[in-house]
Structure 1
Amino acid sequence: MKLSKIAFSVFFLFVFGFSNAQDDLLNELDSVSKGKKEIEIAAFKGLQVCTMQSTKLAAKGEWYFLVSHRFGDLTDGLDNFFGLDNALTKIGGLYGATDWLTFGISRHTLNKNYELSAKYKFANQEVDGFPVTIVGYNTIDINSKLSKDEFPELKSSSRFAFSTQLPISRKFSNSFSLELNPIYIHKNLYEPLFEEKDNFLLALGGRYKLSKRISLNMEYAARLNARETSFYHNPATIGIDIETGGHVFQLLFSNSQAMNDVSYFTNANRITEGKGIYFGFNLYRVF
């Protein structure tokens, strides 16, 4: 009987001690989970909404290979084989230096333009906290087509143009995301009769998920200080995102054939009588 009392006492102390230890452990885990913010991810699956940059960055150590293509005016029909005869191409690469910083370089058929880019994250949208993701994005364009044989007074600085952007996105649900993007563009060489040296725009982009791997994307940018004499128009693009494992494939229709940010935002065509519509795609492959 004495032995059974001792055994019962030991069992009681063990259970009581284990229960207290378990409660202490759960309390610690609760305090850790409460202290760590849960980040809202995948507001956009692609690094671009359509042509405009999204708030997605490459992860640390990731390499992206990019191929973008824009055919000529789709509405010209067989005259240019539905745009195939005067297509433009962009080839480039991106590298995630950290989880919050991505560098890029690309080469464009248009004006034999080279584009250097940097994309950096200021803040993440949190599940029960900060409401938006904020990213900074800058590009430097170098026009290598300009020649002193054609322009004897050409300066080296005339080849450069710059863009500064501040994409701000919010994922409202698993299916729907929106992005607001204030944009500033500066051109050292520009057309005084039709455009400004310094351009200010406000862009809006959105993504709606149609299925597990397909989404509908749209974007539009309003030029806030456009000249009344300008024959350029506000850029607009609609597209489909298709996820296929290692890459995102985007099919697009736009009123701009250009793919570098400076030209896309400032030199889009006006769609008149069904003319000025360009079909193309973006293909990202991650390594």
Structure 2
Amino acid sequence: MKKFLVTICLFWATMTYSQDDLLKDLDSTQVEESYAGATFKALQLVTLQTTKMAAKNEFYFVVSHRFGTVKDGFDSFFGLDNATTKLGGIYGVTDWLSVSLSRHTLNKMYETGLKYRLARQNANFPVDIVGYSVADINTFLEKEQYPSLEFKHRMTYVQQVLVSRKISEKLSLELVPSYLHKNLYNPAIENDNQFSFGGGGRYKITKRLSVNLEYMHNFDTPDFYENPLSVGLDIETGGHVFQLIFTNSQSMSESGYLTNATGEWGKGDFFFGFNLYRVF
């Protein structure tokens, strides 16, 4: 817990001394080359990806936390005793292609992804379209539990199409159809191929503050899992976008978030956390 608090203090300190020119870039809503600009300020809506892309040669360092459920109250200090962490990086290979790599403490998972722009909103086309392809490697699995375990069984794949539209200077909406394939699954409760559909939106409250909402409906959800529903608050400060998160899914990997949400909002069973992006 002490290490976590020290980490938060260090990152908050760097946010205070960020560069003004990066702040101006984040604030810019001008249309570039007749394309709609600043549809989203962050690369993620809450946990879902947005159609925002890392620019060519930009590098984003990502730190995310999801604490335990708040429903246990002081027994777990409202979830702070049960934190999970994601550390990763995103690099813009070109203005239309970026690559990412991250490590998640939950299930000791490694995640790699490709994000690629297919179309942009302009006067002649109504939406932004971006593809997002993910491969997860679950290193938590052990031979003792799965005697026939092979490396391929650790793999899960996710394919998403992100379709967004900037409705106004304040409002942006996004739809996200998703396909997920698990190499290791329990046929009694789920399928190896799963589909979900949903999305969300961002509403700008002030120049530096916006509220985000997202929901995904799974078409193959066991009774003990829920459809993920999350709300977030974007706080912009020079060179950073800091996101406060409330969600019913503790997982930060795309596959875990979509298929393993356990919290029930109506029972006060949800998770608090944050995303922090630092761009270089």
Q: Shift of the alpha carbon at 1:273?
A: 5.2
What is the TM-score when the length of structure 1 is the normalising length? Answer: 0.84
Looking at structure 2, the residues matched to 80 and 270 of structure 1 have their Cα atoms a distance apart, in angstroms, of 16
Runs of 4+ in 1 over 4 A off after TM superposition: none
Looking at structure 2, the residues matched to 37 and 95 of structure 1 have their Cα atoms a distance apart, in angstroms, of 23
Task: Give the greater-gyration-radius structure (CA).
Answer: 1
Looking at structure 2, the residues matched to 270 and 194 of structure 1 have their Cα atoms a distance apart, in angstroms, of 18
Contact 2:115 2:133 survives alignment (8 Å): yes
Q: For each residue in 1:40-59, what CA deviation from the matched residue of structure 2 results, as whole angstroms up to 9, or x when unmatched?
A: 01111000010000000100
Higher relative contact order (CA 8 A, sep 6+): 2
The reply on whether 1:154 has 2:149 as its aligned counterpart is yes
Which position in structure 2 is the counterpart of 1:98? 94
SS of 1:98's partner is coil
The reply on whether 1:277 has 2:273 as its aligned counterpart is no
Looking at structure 2, the residues matched to 88 and 191 of structure 1 have their Cα atoms a distance apart, in angstroms, of 25
Q: For each residue in 1:88-144, what CA deviation from the matched residue of structure 2 results, as whole angstroms up to 9, or x when unmatched?
A: 100000000000001000000111000000000001101x22110000001000011
Contact 1:194 1:231 survives alignment (8 Å): no
Contact 1:67 1:282 survives alignment (8 Å): yes
Looking at structure 1, the residues matched to 120 and 265 of structure 2 have their Cα atoms a distance apart, in angstroms, of 41
Contact 2:211 2:234 survives alignment (8 Å): yes
In the TM superposition, what are the counterparts of 1:69-88 in structure 2 within 5 Å?
69-88=65-84
Looking at structure 1, the residues matched to 259 and 171 of structure 2 have their Cα atoms a distance apart, in angstroms, of 28
SS of 1:201's partner is strand
Which runs of 5 or more residues in structure 1 are unaligned? 1-35
- Identical pairs, percent: 53
Which position in structure 2 is the counterpart of 1:5? none
Which position in structure 1 is the counterpart of 2:240? 247
SS of 1:106's partner is strand
Which position in structure 2 is the counterpart of 1:33? none
Contact 1:162 1:186 survives alignment (8 Å): yes
Q: Shift of the alpha carbon at 1:192?
A: 2.3
Contact 2:67 2:84 survives alignment (8 Å): yes
Which position in structure 1 is the counterpart of 2:207? 212
In the TM superposition, what are the counterparts of 1:124-273 in structure 2 within 5 Å?
124-126=120-122, 128-224=123-219, 226-227=220-221, 229-271=222-264
Q: Shift of the alpha carbon at 1:78?
A: 0.7
Change (3 A) 1:37 1:57: closer
Which position in structure 2 is the counterpart of 1:65? 61
Q: For each residue in 1:4-24, what CA deviation from the matched residue of structure 2 results, as whole angstroms up to 9, or x when unmatched?
A: xxxxxxxxxxxxxxxxxxxxx
What is the TM-score when the length of structure 2 is the normalising length? Answer: 0.86
CA RMSD of aligned residues (A): 1.3
Contact 1:234 1:265 survives alignment (8 Å): yes
Q: Shift of the alpha carbon at 1:275?
A: 3.8
Q: Shift of the alpha carbon at 1:151?
A: 2.1
Give the aligned length: 249
